[in-house]
Every structure is written in C-alpha cells, then in structure tokens.
Amino acid sequence: MTQPILQVRNLTTRFRTDRGVVTAVDRVSFDVAPGETLAIVGESGSGKSVTALSILGLIPRPAGSIDEGEILFDGKDLLKLDAPGMRAIRGNRIAMIFQEPMSSLNPALTIGKQIAEPIRLHRGLPWKTALGMATELLGQVQIPEPASRLGAYPHQFSGGMRQRAMIAMALACRPQLIIADEPTTALDVTVQAQILDLLQDLARRTGTALILITHDLGVVARYADRVAVMYGGRLVEMASAEALYRAPRHPYTRGLMACVPRLDGDTSQPLVPIEGQPPDLTALGPGCAFRPRCPLAQARCATVRPALQDAAGPKGDSRHLNACHLQEIA
C-alpha cells in the first residue's frame, strides 16, 4: 500500500469561549495517500474546517489550541515545528484553497505577482522564470490569454477566474497536499463543476493528495475517493465513496443522505430532514454526540462514547469505519 502523505492521529483542538471550552475536533484520526481525494463532510460546526486549520497551523491562539495528537506530514509531526518551519511548509508543500478567493488574494497586487512570488521565494528561482511559470499555470487552469492576464488585479477577474487563479497559486510550488475548504460554494453550479474537475485533474496528474472539505454530498459523490463524515467534532464514519453511498452505516450519515436530492435524479423518495439541532460543543455528555437526534438511540448511547471501528469488529479490514453502538444492525 502507498505510504500516506498525511497521517492525522487523535487530533484534538479546543477553543476557550465565553460560554466554556469548545472541543471543536475530538480525537480525530485519518490518512491521505498521494493522488487520493479525501472528502471531509458534515454540517457547519462539525469540525471539518477546524481540522483543516489545525493541519495548516492556523488555529488562532491563545483562544484555540491543539491539545492532543499528531499530524504527520511526510513522516514529520507538524505540531513539533516552530513558526518558521511551518511557514516553510504552508503554501509550499501544503497548499490551501478557501471558499472566498477575495479574502486570500491581495487586492493591491497583480495576479502574476501573487502567483510568481511564492515560486521565487520557496523554490529560489529568478523572477523572470517565476513569471514564466505563472503564465504557464494560468494556462493550465484555463484562463484565456494567460500572458496578458498577469498584470490584472483580482477585482478585474470574475469569481470563477479568481478561484482558478487561487488554484494556480496553490499549484505554484508543486505541493504534495492541497486542502480545499468549500472551494466552489460561492460559484454557480456550472463553474463549480468546471473548477472541481480541473482541480482534481491537476491533482491526479501530479500525484497531489487532495482534502476536499464540503457540506455538498453531490460534490462528494463525484470527486471523492474516500469520505470522512464528521459530527460534533468527531469522526463518525469513514469509507470509500462507493461504499458510503451504497450502504451508509452511521445513523447520521443515513440522515444526511436522506436530506439531499437523489444523485440519480430519482425523486420518488421524499426528502427527510434530520430533526433537531447540531450539538452544543460546550456541553457534550460522555456518550454519543448524535444521541439527541438519533432515531435508534438506546440507554448506553447516553453514557458510552461509541468507538470508531469496522463493522466486522476489531479484526475487520478497517475499510468501512463506523462510530455507532449498533454496528450489527447498521
């Protein structure tokens, strides 16, 4: 099996708020292999974006802290790096793409400068070479007449073009891992599909691992190799996309699937929203975080936190993990 480029182990990230301590990510573990697309899905507040920020070393301190775990990137624990060490990796070997490119692009700098600068800095190449590579990257992300666009400012690009420019920036230093957090949510459906197709195609061709954070199960079905489902800061199910869609096991995943229109266009089944509210992360009890909303909850669900395990038990092949006491009926 290919050695994972990223191994997250028992990651626990907390924030101190006026209302108490929020455990936003609670003992989360997963791997990502080179060339693989892992989707992390869940409602807002499920911990998926905080997981990304933890990997990127962008948890705001002192309110937030990573209290436990390891984030092994290419075998090295990112949590043991100092700030300059992390800066050398972020934007270079690990790139990120956020939902709103205007918050990541500098409005006062040309697109060409913003793509070429990290190439010059991280790869130590002369400015002229870096600008040549920026032109090439804009061409790869299908921006027409790329050479003439180098001098444009972000506000002169459309939303879709800005997101393409962000992808070009992300690819500039040939990262081994790209983390894309809701990268196309603000765009219309056609542009969304074009950009995700492009991102995945470029990632596959270069063997780059991709973590796609989304609440959109349509995006997951189309692009993910594997899926990690988060609820209340915890990982509740993880499987190949194919297995998850064919036979979701966790009651929350089943609820999510029932909430979205069928991907095959079949409208004969009614949509069933999940009743109740996402959990208050300052007041999670000792048991299962999904218990107040779970139609299958039992007495032990209130007191014992279900372990993430394969339905076949500890000796199973660990390919379809589920954190529910009702493994046998799930």
**In contact, 251 and 290? CB cutoff 8 Å:** yes
CA atoms within 13 A on the CB side of 313: 2
Closest distance of CB 329 from ligand SF4, Å: 9
Q: Which of 98, 157, 223, 290 binds ligand SF4 (CB under 6 A)?
A: 290
From 71-79, 204-212, 264-272, 318-326, span contacting ligand SF4 (CB under 6 A): 318-326
Q: Is 260 in the site for ligand SF4 (CB under 6 A)?
A: no
Q: Is 297 in the site for ligand SF4 (CB under 6 A)?
A: yes
> How many whole angstroms separate alpha carbon 75 and alpha carbon 4?
9
Q: Is 254 in the site for ligand SF4 (CB under 6 A)?
A: no
> How many whole angstroms separate alpha carbon 241 and alpha carbon 248?
10
Q: Is 308 in the site for ligand SF4 (CB under 6 A)?
A: no
For the chain, how are helix, strand and coil distributed in percent, rounded to 5? 35, 25, 40
Nearer to ligand SF4, 51 or 253 (CB): 253
> How many whole angstroms separate alpha carbon 183 and alpha carbon 187?
9
Q: Which of 248, 306, 308, 310 binds ligand SF4 (CB under 6 A)?
A: 306
CA atoms within 13 A on the CB side of 75: 1
Q: Is 301 in the site for ligand SF4 (CB under 6 A)?
A: yes
By CB under 6 A, the count of residues binding ligand SF4 is: 13
> How many whole angstroms separate alpha carbon 43 and alpha carbon 56?
21
Q: Is 193 in the site for ligand SF4 (CB under 6 A)?
A: no
For residue 46, the SS3 value is: coil
Angle (CA) 232 238 239, round 5°: 155
> How many whole angstroms separate alpha carbon 256 and alpha carbon 253?
5
Q: Is 288 in the site for ligand SF4 (CB under 6 A)?
A: yes
> How many whole angstroms separate alpha carbon 179 and alpha carbon 52?
7
Q: Is 186 in the site for ligand SF4 (CB under 6 A)?
A: no
Q: Which of 294, 308, 320, 321 binds ligand SF4 (CB under 6 A)?
A: 294
Size (the chain), residues: 330
Q: Is 235 in the site for ligand SF4 (CB under 6 A)?
A: no
Q: Is 326 in the site for ligand SF4 (CB under 6 A)?
A: yes
From 53-61, 125-133, 191-199, 292-300, span contacting ligand SF4 (CB under 6 A): 292-300
Q: Is 291 in the site for ligand SF4 (CB under 6 A)?
A: yes
Residues that bind ligand SF4 (CB under 6 A): 251, 288, 290-291, 294, 296-298, 301, 306, 324-326
